[in-house]
Chains A and B, each alone.
Chain A
Amino acid sequence: MLAYILKRLAALVPILIGLTIIVFLMLALIPGGTAVAILGPLASPENIAKVNKELGLDQPLIDQYLTWMGNLLHGDMGRSYSLKRPVIDEVFERFSATLILAGTSLVLCSFFGLLAGIVSAVRQFGWTDRIVTFFVLIGISTPSFWLGLLLIMLFAVDLRWLPASGMYEVYGGGGLGDLLRHLILPSITLAVVATGVIARLTRAAMLEVLRQDYIRTARAKGLTERRVIYRHAFKAALVTVIPLIGVQTGLVLGGAVYIETVFQWPGIGRMLVDAISTRDILLVQGGVLVLAVSYVLFNLLADIIQTVLDPRLKS
């Protein structure tokens, strides 16, 4: 097991190097520049040249990349031009906010997705199945930011039950209760699409498993239906579904950008959008790096869980 994990972690390195090179090139090749972003529309060519020199942007690309890589290996992600603070501070602050949001969403979409999928499969073609499928399909088809705005209108503006945006109350806020109240709408909005996807996949996986001979055997042996479903069928179906949940992480992390914009959640998705429009290369690199590492690690975790559930996969 340990060797397996180490092998997978080792594979991370070339992925990350390749990723950072691609990001670097893309940002360098798109038109527009950091200097104009920092200096504003009244930037004079003289000031632009000065800023470029100061930030080392007039160096050849390969030198800029190697400098960045060298600093990174010393744990220095550089200093954001647009924000004038260390990249590492900004990235980890924003990333922890996204982690809270995306983490909660993933828990929600996994729990409800799996539950809905099981119920759907067990009551296949029955009324429950039809109702669940209906809601699932609506969930998958709804644009998340639109749903977010609708929820804000209903729960914040009309009913005044929940706050419209933000992570905490801005004056005198803080604490777990405050955070949870602010977390409800954005995490539900973010979870909706993934819940639908997981529900459909679970339903399909469950149906597949329920047809198996050993399920019939278990029933014949006299096990309660509940035991059959949860102890045997579900566990087997989970093996198929877990890696798909891992993939959904990517979609959830990506979809977080829209939710972060609509709910003014100070997350890393939003940070990246702003960093790209100001061409803040160091901030973009830092953000992409952290996101990529977490995505890969999460998928690794999913694979490990899968291997634990089904030892046959270890080979």
Chain B
Amino acid sequence: MSPLFRNTLAGMAFAALATGAVSAPALAQTPPNVLIVGQIAEPKSLDPSVDTAVNDFRILMNMYDGLVRYKDGTLEPEPALAKSWDISDDGLTYTFHLRDGVKFHDGTPFNADAVKFTFDRMLDKDNPYYDTGPFPLAFFFSAIDSVTAVDDSTVTFKLKEPYAPFLSNLAYPTGLIVSPAAVKQYGKDFGRHPSGTGPFKFEEWDSNTKVVVSRNDDYWDGAPPLDAVVFRPITDANTRVAEMLSGGIDLMVEVPPDNLKQFQDDPNFKVYEQAGPHVWFLILNAKEGPFADKRVRQAVNYAIDKKSLVDNVLQGTAEVAAGPTPPAFAWAYDNKLQPYPYDPEKARQLLKEAGAEGAELTFYVTEGGSGMLDPVAMATAIQADLAKVGLKVNIKTFEWNTFLGEVNPGLAGKADMAEMAWMTNDPDTLPYLALRTGAFPDKGGFNSGYYSNPKVDALLEKARTSTDQAERAKLYKQMQEIVHDDAPWAFIANWKQNAVSTAAVKDFSLQPSFFLILRDVSKG
């Protein structure tokens, strides 16, 4: 053969060999006793008072503790940094008795002053560290009037009015206790130099590559079995699946519906599923246009084939939603409530009665966003279902950030319907912020569809201030029935959160709160 050809061939062979020489024969598995978790996005900050995304909460809950935490498998608060507490009869004073001998990762002691510092920083505009914010979810604690450190082990919260979700909110990431020394040292950079009391302490944060936390041997609830946890953001879902399959990660959440079956059929992996406090719905413009008529809103609920959406588009990763409250809030959920059945005939009939046959609707759709599942595919399916009953739907798609800028200020003059999803920790939050008359966008709320029913308003106010859980449950159930009938939203789905781990991961379970709790997990 010619010298040229031979040399070219040699060059290519050499390159191939070099590749072979550099790569090991078989890729090493993940290191023993270190859990590698595949996340869906890079964290924003490791300061619990500042974060709003579930993605960040998954890391935070392993580095910090709150006064209380959710009991395993439930959304009910149990003691954590507080051993016990007393609530005054009028529901205005909460006294917490704190655990002794607990230290922050930086060595400073955990005490009542640290608790006071955590909440003052978020709530008091005059606090010297208020500018280390902003604190978007501080409103969860807006009922607090003052926090007092009675002594090192006792702290008292005085509320402005009785606020039933208070304990539950304390278990939420926004209520996690931060180290005052660390905040004072790092100021605005605290989010990149976190210090809490949690089972794992911060080691390093490599932008867009990893967050590494290692075992806290002095953890008050017993040192966790794992040596360390590495959180890897892998934004492309296909790559995340590939990493799982190739042994590059041990655990991943939010498995794409199309890949779930693959893992379920493979004995090398364990699949976890858990209902979550999540609702996916369509906000309907109840102020103007066709949806100002209740019958049209109900018609849309009958016209959409929700079972098909949940089974086919979402591949069974969600359940059909019956009303505004997800079943994950077991104590407050109205079991008797049935979802609107798929009944296009009934829908047509209602539309005829309301004189809205053949109406044209503008539908705002987003391309992504936390908890939005598969927004474009679902919107297209909904559009098709509505077309079958003679409604012409025009879809306008927006990128998530833009979408929120369009929808949150209200749909008036812009759209008839918009997709939305919420994940909350208490049955009060979503209806209070999105279904009350006092929650219209111009009043700072998220009732972008302008739904208004004074009966619902009254029920929500009463439930919020009642301290008796049984009474609250009754009130929420009544609210759900009214809202189900009024249909300010098209109730579509409750997401079933899922996760996949290798078979070697032990003692892991998904929590209804969507948090990733790793303190009991072991490997191998």
User: Which of these, B22, B192, B207, B402, contacts A93 with CB under 8 Å?
Assistant: B207
List chain B residues, Cβ under 8 A from A36: 401, 404-405, 408
Is A177 an interface residue, CB under 8 A from the partner? yes
B512 on the interface (CB 8 Å rule)?
no
- Assess whether A172 is in contact with B399, with CB atoms less than 8 Å apart: no
Say whether B444 contacts A84, CB under 8 Å: no
Contact with B along A144-181 (1 / 0, CB 8 A): 00000100110011001111111111111000010011
Q: Answer yes or no: B167 CB below 8 A from chain A CBs.
A: no
Q: Are B30 and A171 in contact (CB under 8 A)?
A: yes
Q: Does the CB pair A47–B207 fall under 8 Å?
A: no
Structural contact, A170 and B210, CB atoms closer than 8 A: yes
How far does the alpha carbon of A184 sit from the alpha carbon of B271 in the complex, in Å? Answer: 32
> Please, which residues of chain A bring their CB within 8 A of the CB of B27?
156, 160-163
Q: A32-B401, A36-B404, A119-B4 are in contact. Are A149 and B238 (CB under 8 A)?
A: yes
Tell me which of A40, A166, A177 contacts B22 (CB under 8 A).
Answer: A177
Are A149 and B242 interface neighbours, CB within 8 A?
A: yes
A99 at interface by CB-CB < 8 Å: no
The residue in chain A whose Cβ has the minimal distance to the Cβ of B445 is: A44
Chain B residues lying within 8 Å of A274, measured Cβ to Cβ, are 42
B222-237 interface bits toward A, Cβ cutoff 8 Å, 1 = contact, 0 = none:
0000001010111110
| A226 in contact with B242 (CB, 8 Å) | no
- A264 near B23 with CB under 8 A, answer no
**Would you call B134 and A94 a contact (CB within 8 A)?**
no
Complex alpha-carbon distance, A157 and B27, angstroms: 10
Tell me which residues across on chain B come within 8 A of A200, comparing CB atoms.
Answer: none
Checking B209, B235, B369 against A261 with a beta-carbon cut-off of 8 angstroms, the contacting residue is B235
A277 to B233, CA, bound (A): 17
Neighbouring A residues of B248 by C-beta, 8 Å: 156, 163-166
Tell me if A37 is interfacial: C-beta within 8 Å of chain B: yes
With a cutoff of 8 Å between Cβ atoms, the chain A residues found around residue B52 in the complex are 39-42
CB-CB under 8 A from B406, the residues of chain A are 31
Complex Cα–Cα for A82 and B208 (A): 13
Report if B3 contacts A (CB, 8 A): yes
Contact of A164 among B134, B242, B370, B405 (CB under 8 A): B242
In the complex, A45→B410 CA distance in Å?
12
Interface string of B391-417 (1 = CB under 8 A from A): 000000001111011101000000000
Question: Does B408 contact A122, Cβ atoms closer than 8 Å?
Answer: no
Query: Chain A contacts of B408 at CB under 8 A?
Result: 36, 41, 43
Q: How far is the CB of B375 from chain A (nearest CB, A)?
A: 13
Contact A171 B212, CB 8 Å, known A164-B246, A184-B19, A184-B23 = yes
- Let me know if B294 is at the binding interface, CB within 8 A: no
- Take A171-B30, A277-B401 as given contacts and tell me if A50 and B134 are in contact as well, using a CB distance cutoff of 8 Å: yes
| A226 and B246 within 8 A (CB) | no
Closest to B53 in A: A40
- Residues on the B chain within 8 Å of A106, using CB: none
B128 within 8 A of A: no
Which one of B3, B11, B31, B404 lies within 8 Å of A172 (CB-CB)?
B31
Mask of A117-157 contacts with B, CB within 8 angstroms, 1/0: 00100110000100000000000000000000100110011
13 A-B pairs with CB atoms under 8 Å apart are A43-B408, A46-B444, A50-B134, A115-B8, A149-B238, A168-B209, A171-B36, A177-B22, A261-B236, A262-B236, A262-B238, A264-B233, A264-B239
Residues of A within 8 A of B (CB): 30-33, 36-47, 50-51, 54, 82-85, 90, 93-94, 115, 119, 122-123, 128, 149, 152-153, 156-157, 160-172, 177, 180-181, 184, 225-226, 229, 261-264, 266, 270-271, 274, 277-279
